[in-house]
Chain A
Amino acid sequence: MNPPGKKSGPRNQQEAQREVDRLLLFSGMMEELTRRKVFALPSTQKKKLGNYVDQEVARLKGLFEVDTNFSSKRLSLGMRITTFLGGAAFCAGIYYLFLRVWAYLDTPAQVAVLTLGTILAAWAADKAAKLERSLYYASLLGLVAFACFVVNLVVLGATFNITPSPNSFLVWGLFGMILAYGYGMRLLLLAGLLSLLGFLSMEAGTVCGIYWLDFGERPENFIMAGALLFSVPLVLKHPDKPGFPVFYRLVGLLSVLGAVLALAHWGDGSYLRWNTKTLEDGYQLLGFLASGLAIWHGIKREHSEETNIGAAFFAIFLYTKFYDWWWDWMPKYLFFLVVGALSVVLLFLMKRLRRLFQEERP
């Protein structure tokens, strides 16, 4: 908490939006409680409060692109989806345009176009980020720059018949991370993280002796890579970018739990040369433990995405276990009724758990 008289404003759009949401909610609740005659503020204080809220919301709206009502929030979500789709469309267009024209360029011209195209798109993203607070256009152009860089390496590889290598994913990941951290673009962060996840999984496979493109044949590669990415925000704090750790946790957790789920049903895909049934049982147990741990950790640290992913995978592991135990011998109607009843029990337990946590927190 800041000492009295010392103003420290929000550092980014997410904090500003949270501040605006709290102010508007507070103002709305004050009006509602007054209307219900719970209490009544003296008119001077009411006016002072109203002025403060209006001024503060206007100030934050001027500094950051914040939404001040439900409709504009929904529109912002639509704009984010449009940015992503528009960026994806531009990327596909650039790729097909280059495929069409590259035969008419000699090799030095091809290299120049590919390199300069990427640099130009990155420069355009930089300019857009300086002119626009909300970063919609900047994110779109950043995605185009990322796509140009991907096409750059793919086309160079094809032109010079270069043996494919996983290092491309490393440099793509680095490029995405530079733009993401440089401008606060979460879409580029996701692109960078997915590329780095690919590189780390492929390298894990190569170290264990398999051809890098077949890294998917051993899901344990994803467990190692996902765990590494998940742990990054535990070590590297992001005070200026509070929205970034969510993506690390999302990508890391989905990678780990997805791989454990695959191995729980495909023991042959493990590096371990144990009995297949033992491996599958072991990974099923690990799946329950890992998803339970994610729920607990997510509640403790107030990471809703972690809690939700953990709960979803816990349910998947549970239902697949029911299927293994009962599907073959139980009448189908009974199977679904039992699963439905157990879901109700699970809901009841989760509600009790939620009440417990609510009582713990003041």
Chain B
Amino acid sequence: MKNPMALASACALVLLVNAFILAGVAVNRSGQDARLNLTERELTLESSSNEDSSISLNLDVNAPDTLPVSQLKAMGYDTDSLLKGEWRSTPARKVYVALEMEGPAWRKWLADQQTQLALYRKKLQALQSRPGAKSDRKIILDEIKDTEDGLTTNSRLFTVEVGLDPTALRAAHPDRNQCAIVPGRLELYSTTDSNNKRTIGTSVYLLSNTLHVGRDWYPFFRRMKGTSKNKWSRLDGSQFKPWINRYRVQVIYGKKHEPWIAKCEPIPGSSPR
């Protein structure tokens, strides 16, 4: 027997759910938790098949391999047992991640890279006078090229803290133009450090790391489809073509820590490849 209310109930559910989702979007966009100015270094064009006409940008974040034990303890992990080797399958948890743009973490990374470059150049100089060290020199040269390339392409966005309470994270990182608090997922795994001592490795993933691009900017991004900052896509003979960032994007994180793209513009002097 057919229920005469079935169609009305189904339609009402569809309309209610859509209204609820759109209301949630309106709530999120009614306030701003953070506003970050990013470039192609941090937001790369997502590759998509011909079946998908939409365009999205992927957020590229530098996340640490380990987190301080105090942060893990604060999130309720039994770090003592984990460090003793009483390792059981530990499922991932929802967390909040503090993302810092061009802050102290970025400057430290830059300094580390410059130090590494200096070391490589010193090694190369030592190998110049050594006969039969051609392959070693090539390896060092490749490392130097990789490091120099990374200085112009690596994302300036770093994960600086992870926690369960976004309010506490915001209090610890109050600059809303430099730091965004975003929802993420934290996984732990057993590993050893450079001294072969047991430690806890961490993998931090963002829950919204793909940003949908509005229709207005499709012509601009469509010209760039098929290109990326990945160095192997810039291979020209035995050399890598240098990378120039082509666009700036302003991303706003709302009250519910969900992002949207506020502005896109090309960087003057660059051209879509």
Contacts and interface: CB of A to CB of B under 8 A. Distances in A.
Contacts of A122: 7, 10-11, 14
Interface stretch (B66-74, B84-92, B233-241): B84-92
A115 to B, nearest CB: 5
A102 B14 CA distance: 20
Interface string B3-40: 10111011101110110011011000000000000000
A229 B174 CA distance: 47
B91 A111 contact: no
B211 A161 contact: yes
A163 B208 contact: yes
A104 interface: yes
B91 A163 contact: no
Contact of B218 (A12, A103, A130, A161): A103
A211 B3 contact: no
A99 interface: yes
17 contacts: A96-B51, A100-B51, A101-B53, A104-B215, A118-B14, A156-B18, A158-B210, A160-B25, A160-B258, A162-B21, A162-B25, A179-B10, A183-B2, A209-B76, A217-B91, A268-B88, A268-B89
A175 B13 contact: yes
Contacts of A273: 88
A162 B2 contact: no
Contacts of B212: 158-161
B51 to A, nearest CB: 6
Interface string B34-52: 0000000000000000011
Question: Which of A130, A174, A178 is packed against the most chain B CB atoms within 10 Å?
Answer: A178
A103 B91 contact: no
B215 A103 contact: yes
Top-8 shortest CB links A-B = A182-B6, A103-B53, A210-B91, A182-B3, A217-B91, A126-B7, A211-B92, A268-B89
Contacts, number: 134
Contacts of A161: 208, 210-212, 258-260
Given A115-B14, A171-B13, A175-B14, A123 B7 contact: yes
* B contact patch SS: mixed
A182 B258 contact: no
Nearest to A269: B89
A160 B76 CA distance: 32
Question: Which of B17, B25, B215 is packed against the most chain A CB atoms within 10 Å?
Answer: B17
B262 to A, nearest CB: 12
Interface in A83-120: 96, 99-107, 111, 114-115, 118-119
B248 interface: no
A153 B92 CA distance: 25
Contacts of B56: 158
Contacts of B3: 181-183
A152 to B, nearest CB: 7
A162 B91 contact: no
Interface string B190-225: 000000000000000001101110110010000000
A340 interface: no
A152 B24 CA distance: 16
Nearest to A155: B54
B257 interface: yes
Contacts of A186: none
A163 B10 contact: no
A103 B259 contact: no
Contacts of B15: 115, 119
B163 interface: no
A111 B22 contact: yes
A181 B1 CA distance: 9
B162 interface: no
A158 B57 CA distance: 12
Nearest to B256: A163
B89 to A, nearest CB: 5
B229 interface: no
Given A119-B14, A184-B2, 5 more contacts: A103-B54, A122-B11, A162-B21, A178-B6, A178-B9
A210 B24 contact: no
Contacts of B52: 99-100
A187 to B, nearest CB: 15
Contacts of A123: 7, 11
Interface string A178-216: 110111100000000000000000000100011111100
Contacts of A152: 14, 18
Nearest to B7: A126
B4 to A, nearest CB: 9
A111 to B, nearest CB: 7
B97 interface: no
A153 B21 contact: yes
A94 B225 CA distance: 25
Contact of B215 (A100, A106, A149): A106
B7 A218 contact: no
A156 B6 contact: no
B17 A171 contact: yes
B35 to A, nearest CB: 15
Question: Which of B5, B88, B214, B259 is packed against the most chain A CB atoms within 10 Å?
Answer: B88
Contacts of B94: 211-212
Given A178-B9, A179-B6, A214-B92, A102 B54 contact: yes
Contacts of B181: none
B55 interface: yes
A106 B215 CA distance: 6
A269 B22 CA distance: 38
B173 interface: no
Contact of A11 (B1, B11, B22, B93): B1
A181 B6 contact: yes
B170 interface: no
